[in-house]
């Protein structure tokens, strides 16, 4: 019984971490439109310190 | 156990900084290392700019006498990640290894570290790496039977933090809050002595000391996902610059992962209280203060900040307030490690020991799951490049006939094709062995935050009017060639080209005058540097005079 419970704990935590990790990785590989808009440089001179 | 901590710290460092095995320099925003940075008086006390990198720049120049720039950069960056992880692992008040490793990951794998690393603010990250050691040393000082070596350790731990004004303030506040005033007076004085170089440089600078209030909004903490700026700060993120935020921070699950971390941290509070009865409350006060300060530039606090930067000399230091989040990051990592231990113990009692270990391993991996793109140099963003060879040619020509250099295009930060299009601060002031006049205005999106240098303002006025820059009287004019960032030919009228390459061009000004006479005196700042160095040496002697401690 204890082993089964441990397996369940491991499965739940593993799935949670996996989900967070996969979604976070997708955020890096394929950022949302808002993120792209924020990070796009609309200054052709390319001499800005940063954008908000 | 110590071996496991070192191994974990080494592994984290290797994974985060993996691309640095490639040759060259990582050049990003404020991070500029050059082959050999000259040691000039200007580095000890900038004449007409606020001393934001004092004594950091002077220390880099001194270290460059023995270590080449490429090696120094790797040493420094590796030391930051390694000692941040190791320091937190040793700070967690437990005898068990896994919770210590949870603390190490929770502190060395954070949005704060990732974002400031991508902004190139390695000087601030020295304070980040030093803070767990400062906290440990301060708590030890409270209970040490022999106070002098403990005092020495505290001053040594604070020294890396005090290489920048922000780090120095954080170290000073930490010591002042964690130690009772009467017992900690000498420790506070010792830490304050480490801040002498930038304090004296500020006092003797002709730059004034007040800042443009527009900087408060421009550098305020920023939301990274649906949880807004406060949610970002709660997860130790929220840097002002959208371009230095890892993509994973925009994940819809990032706030939930932060919430899990905070729940873990809440679970660890009672344990911390029992193990550090007095220190825990003081650390919590410090962390709460740092969070409030970090959030001060958003909401109603912004007006207060604007008033401060306009009216209080030196208050401009507070405008990028998210950087003060470091004590909060320490407390969250510490509590999360203890919370994971508490949860693991409960599960071990109710189920079996393996269930407890599973929880600890999951807590260990949580920071990596939240922020997978910190690995491998923030997903390849920290990749070294080589300077074009022309930089050496130009540096040799300027060294042969020293004189002030005007660096054009007149932008402090610029993208270069040879730097993979990454924005970086103009390398000229560090590469050339001469005073270099660069633009100290900062452009954040469409907002321009004014600089402090009157001479840079004079150059801007000439350039805006399209008048020849020869009138400035600088000996040299360096033009950093980049497609799309042109220097109008009219401003170069009256200058003589002495070198032209695909990336750089050097022009000589036949009508150069001597560098304008200045009343600015650098010797008080040099004396302050020597004083701080003596304090560090004295602290080292105090530590070495006794047997080594467990850490």
Pick the residue with more confidence: A26 or B106? B106
Say what the pLDDT of residue B49 is: 81
Asked whether residue B320 falls in the same domain as residue B398, the answer is no
Instruction: Say how far apart CA B521 and CA B334 lie, in whole Å.
Output: 45
More confident residue, B78 or A26: B78
B188-207 average pLDDT score? 91
Domain boundary among B322, B357, B380: B380
pLDDT in tens, B274-297: 999 989 999 999 999 999 999 999
B284 vs B290: CA distance, rounded Å: 10
B119 contacts in A (CB within 8 Å)?
A: 50
What residues have CB less than 8 Å from B527, skipping those under 6 apart? B200
Sequence-distant (≥ 6) Cβ neighbours of residue B107 within 8 angstroms: B84, B85, B87, B88, B132, B329, B330, B333
Partner residue opposite A9 with nearest CB, options B358, B369, B423: B358
Number of residues assigned to chain B: 551
Residues B369, B398 within the same domain: no
- The verdict on B356 and B414 lying in the same domain is no
B123 plus B201 within the same structural domain:
yes
B457 and B359 share one domain: no
Cβ neighbours for B166, distance < 8 A, ≥ 6 positions apart: B124, B127, B317, B323, B324
- Residue B424 with chain A: CB contacts under 8 Å: none
The shortest CB-CB distance from A31 to any of B247, B253, B421 is to B247
- Kindly state whether residue B385 falls inside one of the protein's structural domains: no
pLDDT tens-digit map of B399-426: 999 999 999 999 999 999 999 999 999 9
Query: Based on the number of CB atoms within 10 Å of its own CB, is B120 exposed (0-12), middle (13-18) or buried (19 or more)?
Result: buried
Q: Where residue B438 falls among pLDDT bands split at 50, 70, 90?
A: very high
pLDDT at B545 over 90: no
For the segment B385-405, the average pLDDT, to the nearest whole number, is 96
Does B437 map to a domain? yes
Give yes or no for residue B146 having a pLDDT over 70. yes
Q: Is residue B147 part of a domain?
A: yes
Q: B514 lies in a domain?
A: no
User: What is the per-residue DSSP string for A18-44?
Assistant: HHHHHHHHHHHHS--HHHHHHH----T
Q: Quick one: residue B167, left, alpha or beta (phi over 0 = left, psi -120 to 50 = alpha)?
A: alpha
What percentage of chain B has pLDDT greater than the value 90? 82
Contact (CB, 8 A) for B158 and B167:
no
**Partner residue opposite A49 with nearest CB, options B352, B358, B444:** B444
HSE-up of residue B290 (Cα within 13 Å, Cβ side): 31
Tokens of B265: 């941290």
Q: If pLDDT is split at 50, 70 and 90, which confidence band does B498 have?
A: very high
Name the band, by pLDDT with cuts 50, 70 and 90, for residue A44.
Answer: very low
Quick one: pLDDT at residue A39? 55
Residues of B in contact with A20 (CB under 8 A): 251, 253, 256-257, 366, 369-370
CA nearest B486 in A: which residue? A45
B359: chain A residues, CB-CB within 8 Å = 9, 13
Asked whether residue B351 falls in the same domain as residue B408, the answer is no
Specify the pLDDT at position B513.
77
pLDDT, tens digit, 9 for 90 and up, residues B299-310:
888 999 999 999
- The verdict on a CB contact (< 8 Å) between A46 and B415 is yes
- Is the same domain home to B303 and B394? no
Per-residue pLDDT tens over the stretch A5-41: 888 888 999 898 888 888 888 877 766 666 656 555 5
Assembly ipTM: 0.82
Q: Distance from first CA to last CA of chain A, Å, rounded?
A: 53
pLDDT of residue B548: 57
Do residues B376 and B477 both lie within one domain?
Answer: no
- Same domain (yes/no): B323, B242: yes
Residue B518: pLDDT over 60? no
The C-alpha of A20 sits at a distance from chain B's nearest C-alpha, in angstroms, of 6
The H-assigned helical ranges of B208-352 are: 214-218, 228-234, 254-275, 279-295, 301-311, 326-350
B349/B423 same-domain check: no
CB contact under 8 A, B442 and A49: yes
Chain B residues close to A6, C-beta within 8 Å: 351-352, 354-355, 358
Nearest CA in chain A to B371: A24
Check residue B506 and give left, alpha or beta (phi > 0: left; psi -120 to 50: alpha): beta
Contact A21 B240 (CB under 8 A): no
Distance CA B165, CA B163 (A): 7
Q: Verify that B145 and B92 share a domain, yes or no.
A: yes
Whether B521 is covered by a domain: the verdict is: no
Cβ atoms within 10 Å, residue B41: 16
Domain boundary among B348, B380, B412: B380
Domain end point (choices B380, B400, B423): B380
Looking at the fold, whether B62 and B121 belong to one and the same domain comes out as yes
**How close is the nearest chain A Cα to the Cα of B354, in Å?**
7
**A47 to chain B: closest CA residue:** B414
Cβ of B252 and A29 within 8 Å? no
Under 8 Å between Cβ of B394 and B423: no
Question: Is the separation of the CB atoms in B268 and B276 below 8 Å?
Answer: no
pLDDT, residue A42, reads: 47
Q: Please say if the pLDDT value at position B523 is more than 90.
A: no
- Residue B324 is given by DSSP the state G
Which range (B125-134, B433-442, B471-480, B509-518) has the least confidence?
Answer: B509-518
**Mean model confidence pLDDT for chain B:** 93
For residue B87, the surrounding DSSP H or E stretch is: helix B69-91
Cα diameter, chain B: 85
- Asked if residue B415 lies in contact with residue A46, where contact means CB atoms within 8 angstroms, the answer is yes
B interface test, pick of A7, A25, A27, A30 with most B CB neighbours within 10 Å: A27
Separation between Cα atoms, residue B504 and residue B482, nearest integer Å: 9
- Residue B273's pLDDT is what? 97
Write B436-439 long-range contacts (CB < 8 A, 24+).
Answer: B436/B404, B436/B405, B436/B406, B436/B407, B436/B478, B437/B404, B437/B405, B437/B406, B437/B407, B437/B472, B437/B474, B438/B407, B438/B410, B438/B412, B439/B410, B439/B411, B439/B412
Query: CA–CA distance from B20 to each of A47, B25, B48, B355 (Å)?
Result: 26, 8, 35, 38
Domain assignment of residue B526, yes or no: no
Question: Taking residues B346-375, what's their average pLDDT?
Answer: 94
What is the DSSP secondary structure assignment for residue B515, as one 8-state letter?
P
| Surface-to-core class of residue B385, CB atoms within 10 Å of its CB (0-12 exposed, 13-18 middle, 19+ buried) | middle
For the four alpha carbons of B390, B393, B397 and B399, in that order, the dihedral sign comes to positive
Within a domain: residue B174?
A: yes
Our count of domains for chain B comes to 2
Which residues are bridge partners to B500 per DSSP? B505
List of chain B residues whose C-beta atoms are within 8 Å of the C-beta of residue A46: 414-415, 421, 423, 482, 484-485
- Contact (CB<8Å) A18/B250: no
Across the interface, do A2 and B355 touch by the CB < 8 Å criterion?
yes
Phi, psi of B249 (to 5 degrees): -70, -20
Choice between A6 and B551, residue whose per-residue pLDDT is larger: A6
Q: Is B303 part of any domain?
A: yes
Query: Interface of chain A against chain B, CB under 8 Å?
Result: 2-3, 5-6, 9-10, 13-14, 16-21, 23-29, 31-32, 34-35, 38-39, 41, 43-52
- Residues of A with CB below 8 A from B411's CB? 45, 47
Q: Kindly list the residues from chain B whose CB atom is less than 8 angstroms away from the CB atom of residue A33.
A: none
Banded model confidence at residue B15, pLDDT cuts 50, 70, 90: very high
Beta strand pairing status for B496-500 and B504-508?
antiparallel
What does the DSSP 8-state code read for residue B29? B
In this structure, chain A runs to a length of 52
Closest CA to A20 of B248, B358, B15: B248
Residue A29: closest C-alpha in chain B:
B247
Rounded-to-integer distance, Cα B79 and Cα A1, Å: 46
DSSP B490: G
Whole-angstrom distance, CA of residue B372 vs CA of residue B375: 6
What range defines the domain where residue B399 resides? 390-508
Q: How many whole angstroms separate alpha carbon A11 and alpha carbon A13?
A: 6
């Amino acid at each position: 019984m204890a082993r089964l419970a441990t397996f369940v704990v491991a499965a739940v935590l593993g799935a949670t971490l996996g989900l967070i990790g996969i979604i976070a990785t997708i955020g890096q590989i394929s950022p949302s439109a808002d993120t792209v808009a924020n990070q796009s440089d609309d200054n052709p001179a390319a001499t800005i310190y940063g954008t908000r | 156990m110590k071996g496991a901590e070192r191994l974990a710290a080494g592994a984290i460092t290797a994974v985060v900084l993996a691309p640095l095995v490639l040759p060259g320099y990582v050049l990003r925003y404020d991070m500029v290392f050059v082959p050999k940075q000259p040691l000039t008086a200007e580095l000890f006390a900038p004449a007409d700019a606020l001393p934001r990198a004092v004594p950091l720049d002077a220390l880099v120049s001194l270290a460059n006498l023995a270590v080449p720039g490429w090696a120094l950069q790797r040493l420094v960056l590796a030391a930051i990640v390694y000692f941040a992880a190791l320091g937190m692992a040793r700070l967690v008040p437990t005898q068990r290894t896994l919770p210590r490793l949870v603390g190490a990951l929770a502190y060395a794998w954070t949005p704060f570290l990732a974002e400031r690393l991508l902004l190139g603010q390695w000087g601030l990250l020295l304070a980040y790496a030093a803070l767990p050691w400062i906290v440990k040393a301060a708590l030890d000082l409270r209970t040490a039977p022999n106070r002098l070596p403990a005092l020495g350790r505290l001053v040594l731990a604070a020294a890396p933090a005090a290489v920048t004004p922000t780090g120095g303030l954080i170290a000073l506040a930490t010591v002042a809050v964690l130690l009772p005033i009467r017992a900690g007076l000498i420790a506070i004085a010792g830490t304050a002595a480490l801040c002498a170089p930038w304090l004296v440089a500020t006092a003797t600078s002709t730059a004034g000391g007040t800042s443009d209030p527009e900087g408060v909004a421009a550098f305020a903490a920023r939301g990274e996902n649906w949880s807004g700026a406060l949610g970002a700060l709660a997860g130790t993120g929220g840097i002002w610059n959208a371009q230095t935020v890892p993509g994973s921070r925009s994940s819809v699950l990032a706030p939930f992962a932060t919430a899990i971390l905070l729940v873990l941290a809440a679970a660890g509070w009672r344990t911390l209280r029992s193990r550090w009865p007095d220190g825990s409350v003081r650390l919590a006060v410090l962390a709460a203060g740092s969070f409030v300060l970090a959030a001060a530039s958003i909401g109603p606090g912004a007006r207060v900040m604007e008033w401060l930067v306009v009216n209080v000399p030196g208050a401009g230091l507070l405008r990028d307030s998210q950087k003060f989040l470091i004590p909060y990051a320490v407390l969250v990592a510490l509590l999360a490690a203890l919370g994971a231990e508490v949860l693991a113990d409960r599960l071990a009692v109710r189920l079996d020991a393996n269930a407890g270990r599973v929880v600890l391993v999951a807590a260990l991996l949580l920071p990596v799951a939240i922020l997978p793109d910190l690995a491998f140099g923030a997903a390849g963003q920290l990749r070294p490049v080589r300077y074009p060879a022309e930089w050496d040619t130009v540096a040799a020509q300027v060294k042969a006939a020293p004189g002030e250099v005007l660096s054009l295009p007149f932008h402090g930060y610029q993208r270069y094709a040879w730097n993979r299009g990454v924005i970086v601060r103009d390398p000229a002031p560090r590469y050339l062995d001469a005073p270099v006049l660069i633009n100290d205005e900062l452009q954040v999106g469409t907002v321009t935050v004014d600089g402090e240098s009157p001479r840079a303002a004079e150059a801007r006025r000439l350039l805006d009017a399209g008048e020849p820059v020869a009138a400035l009287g600088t000996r040299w004019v360096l033009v950093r060639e980049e497609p799309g960032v042109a220097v109008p030919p009219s401003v170069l009228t009256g200058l003589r080209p002495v070198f032209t390459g695909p990336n750089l061009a050097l022009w000589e000004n036949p009508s150069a005058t001597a560098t304008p006479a200045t009343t600015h005196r650098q010797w008080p700042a040099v004396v302050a540097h020597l004083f701080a160095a003596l304090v560090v040496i004295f602290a080292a002697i105090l530590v070495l005079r006794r047997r080594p401690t467990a850490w």
